[in-house]
Structure 1
Amino acid sequence: MRTVDDRLTELGIALPALFGGPPGFERRFDRVHVDGGLAYVSGHGPVDGATVLSQGRVGGDLTPEDGYAAARATGLSILASLRDELGSLERVGSWVKALGLVRAAPGFTALPGVMDGFTDLVLELWGPERGRHARSAIGVAELPFGIPVEVEAIVRLAD
């Protein structure tokens, strides 16, 4: 059986470096908090270590395609944090819920299409059985560091 890491390799995807947290808050929150059989993923953005990969408002400075790419990059940041906390992405049994916040220009309402960047990545790697999840996409005026997308998630751990 192919693992998630096998799929990442097949797709030519490397995970980014871990984000250390906002300056001054590094020890005030966990990127991933495990409680019982669930892992709660704090809000992540499109970052590679301390480098912000995308900034701007979707539907303004950024196209919907740019937003989709930012949501996908955010998913990769989440995967790096899950691997760090769980030791292996195989410990993710299934995806339960994702909340996507999109820094949108006034009048931009194609938020679900932006969040498809995250969801499509999860489905590519875990397939529909383990990757399907409930999801919300909400437009917001501002996000930390000027990022266009922030995603938080809940995953069920494998038995």
Structure 2
Amino acid sequence: MARIEAKLAELGLTLPAPLQMPANIRMTLPFAWVRLRGARAFVSGHVPLNLNGTIAQPVGRVGAEVSVDEGYTAARLVALAHLASLQKALGDLDRITAWLRVFAMVNVAPGFDQMPKIANGYSDLILEVFGPDIGTHSRSAVGVALPLNVPVECEAELEIDGGRSDSLELQP
């Protein structure tokens, strides 16, 4: 078993299936989940997912319908969704040599200003899985309105070892 897969198992973490849009939502997503270019992986914004790929609950604005703790947990689920997409694109999560940047967008109620606490859910999971040498990253966390009323969405940029490059897989 690969090192990162073993670490996920040790932590009791399971990667989710790809996003399954709600039946009542018709939306075209003409971009790649992961874009590989040279030694870089650019990961599009992902949302919190259940294991079956459906959008995790609760949805809503942090500081109103969603608590800080629930927002933190949602950000951890986003990190797992990123890992699932990276596993598919890279074939092996051990190819990740450095997490470079994470951009966290938090759906916030008016006056809520604790976006970094929510984004910590993502950062903490990446550091638990990859350790500080590979997992330490720069990060921004901002408050915005988000699609599908999800509490958090994140994108990331990583450094990867050689192998395939310039890979492109469009979302369904």
Question: Given the two structures, how large is their TM-score scaled by the length of structure 1?
Answer: 0.93
What does 1:30-109 align with in structure 2 at a 5 Å threshold?
30-48=32-50, 49-54=52-57, 55-109=59-113
What does 1:122-137 align with in structure 2 at a 5 Å threshold?
122-137=126-141
Task: Find out whether 1:144 has 2:140 as its counterpart.
Answer: no
d(CA) in 1 for partners of 2:147, 2:49? 12
d(CA) in 1 for partners of 2:27, 2:48? 20
d(CA) in 2 for partners of 1:138, 1:24? 24
List structure 1 runs of 4+ shifted beyond 3 angstroms: 20-24
Look up the equivalent residue of 1:8 and give its one-letter code. L
Instruction: After superposition, give the CA deviation of every residue in 1:69-117 in whole Å (9 maximum; x if it has no partner).
Output: 0000010000000000110111111100000000011111111010000
**SS class of match (1:135):** strand
**SS class of match (1:123):** helix
In structure 2, relative to structure 1, the CA distance for the partners of 1:134 and 1:143 (3 Å cut) is same
**SS class of match (1:47):** coil
1:23 positional shift: 4.1
Task: Find out whether 1:154 has 2:157 as its counterpart.
Answer: yes
Does the 8 A contact of 1:94 with 1:158 survive in 2?
A: no
What number of residue pairs does the alignment pair up? 157
Cα RMSD of the aligned pairs, angstroms, is 1.7
Identity value in percent: 40
1:36 positional shift: 1.0
Unaligned runs of 5+ in 2: 163-172
Does the 8 A contact of 1:100 with 1:137 survive in 2?
A: yes
In structure 2, relative to structure 1, the CA distance for the partners of 1:158 and 1:23 (3 Å cut) is farther
**SS class of match (1:19):** coil
State the match for 2:19 in structure 1: 19
